Amino acid sequence: MNLDKIDNIFFIGIGGMGMSSLAEYFINENKYVCGYDRDASENTDRLQNLGIEILFKDSFERINSRFLNKDNTLIVYTPAIPVSNNLLSEFSGNKFACIKRAELLGLVVKKGKCIAIAGTHGKTTTTSILAHLLNSSNISTTSFIGGISENYNSNFLYNGNKLFLVEADEYDKSFLNLTPNYACITSIDPDHLDIYNDFEGVESGFISFINNIQSGGFLIVQENLDYDYPKYGLSPNSDYSIENIRIQDENYLFDIRTPESNYKNLKFSIPGKHNLMNALAAFVISIQLGCEINLLKSALESFKGVKRRFTYHLRTKDRVYIDDYAHHPKEINSVYSAIKEFHPKQDILVVFQPHLFSRTRDFVEGFADSLSQFDAVLLLDIYPARETPIDGVSSSWLLDKINSPIKKLVDKSDLSTEILNQNMKINLTLGAGDIGNECMKIKKSLEHEN
């Protein structure tokens, strides 16, 4: 497909992280952009402020007439959009060009060299850190991030187009539309088994991703992965490693060792050894791209994080409230370890909203084990997203398997009251559904209590 011949692009599901960044990109490319989403959000608000018309009812009669010309109009959708969606049905039924978001992203990044960050965990934070490092180094890059960067309050960053930095999503095998010049794999764990069936299927998908890397391209992999490529991590046996880690004034101080050099006394403020690993991966790729070391050091220190990735909403001597996107047992374990590292000897309350019936079913024992580490567990109903219920799979089923001293099923409307009733210093909300919408309400109730 020749995107130069396309004047109009209509995004079905425009408020999603991957879709909204592409919509913003095409505004920069002087295309006429419009879209549909079921609900208003911060992303749709930002796009509307850029002049993009957004529909919130999937009625074909509401479509702007300029999008009815098949010759110069492209329809973009995501796997989350059901085939029963009225707009998608009408456009496809009338023989419009309709493609998935991942296919469009693959076409866009062919315009320059591609940097792809893949992995079942950590790719959003690593992408966001790398976007900040490259921008701070004034490297010509367009960045598509799978979360909202706190530094830029956006998931899209434009500073030229010699490089395209993308989060390579394994869901629906989307990342196989990419042919990167530079790549990183942060982790490979069982996930999205509705797509891959089993862990062997997941591994096969990542091998296909590796095979798509350009001849002569650069790939680094996290040190625990069994691939014969340069490794990064905390082990002295890794090709690129973090050493001499200290905590000072709630910041990490550390050194980085590479095959060519040692870099001393770097500073990074985002808690968790997993986030230090993400910072290391971004630093290594930046070096490969020729960034100046002092600029990289300053950029690492000034990185503010990603919304809903270990986000502090409240941090006083009496109360701490953290929110995170963690929705897989290994991610929950990482968040727990980070809290214990920065807030030792404190009891922790967690509110968890399971995401997807299939994921809850596939990893119920892992979720029970990871949540049982906490001193109190408040469990919300499963967020269904694109799925219909599965018999026997429920939050009460998961709750029965959790061994925490305090555990309880809670309705979202009662969440703030229940958190206050438990009266713990460290409070945490986790999940990939709509639990993030409750953060401000929880924060205000905790502040008021103080």
pLDDT beyond 80 at 1: no
**Is pLDDT at 367 greater than 90 in this prediction?**
yes
Axis-axis angle for helices 273-288, 123-136 (nearest 10): 40
Q: Is the pLDDT assigned to residue 387 strictly greater than 90?
A: no
Structural domains of the chain sorted by starting position, each given as residue range(s) with its CATH number in brackets: 3-100 (3.40.50.720), 110-302 (3.40.1190.10), 311-449 (3.90.190.20)
| Over residues 84-88, mean pLDDT | 89
pLDDT over 90 (residue 35) = yes
Instruction: State yes or no: pLDDT of 190 exceeds 80.
Output: no
CA–chain centroid gap for 439, Å, is 18
Q: What pLDDT is stored for residue 447 in this prediction?
A: 87
* CB-CB contact of 367 with 399 (8 Å): no
H/E run at residue 126: helix 123-136
Q: Which of 83-87, 273-277, 281-285 has the lowest mean pLDDT?
A: 83-87
Could you count the other beta carbons within 10 Å of the beta carbon of residue 413? 9
How confident is the model at residue 4, as a pLDDT? 87
pLDDT in tens, 127-157: 999 999 999 999 999 999 999 999 999 999 9
* pLDDT at 38 exceeding the cut of 80: yes
Q: What is the mean pLDDT of residues 341-368?
A: 94
CA–CA gap between residue 328 and residue 251 (Å, rounded) = 26
Share of the chain above pLDDT 70, in %: 100
What three-state secondary structure class fits 8?
strand
Is residue 450 pLDDT above 70, yes or no? Answer: no
Put simply, whether the predicted model's pTM sits higher than 0.85 gets the answer yes
- Position 23 scores a pLDDT of 96
User: What pLDDT was estimated at residue 173?
Assistant: 87
Q: Which of these, 353, 304, 301, 344, lies nearest to 320 by C-alpha position?
A: 344
Q: Are strands 240-248 and 251-257 parallel, antiparallel or unpaired?
A: antiparallel
6 SS3 class: coil
pLDDT of residue 210: 97
Confidence of residue 192 (pLDDT cuts 50, 70, 90): confident
CB-based burial, 199-229: b 16+ in 10 Å, e otherwise: eeebeebbeebbebbeeebbbbbbbebeeee
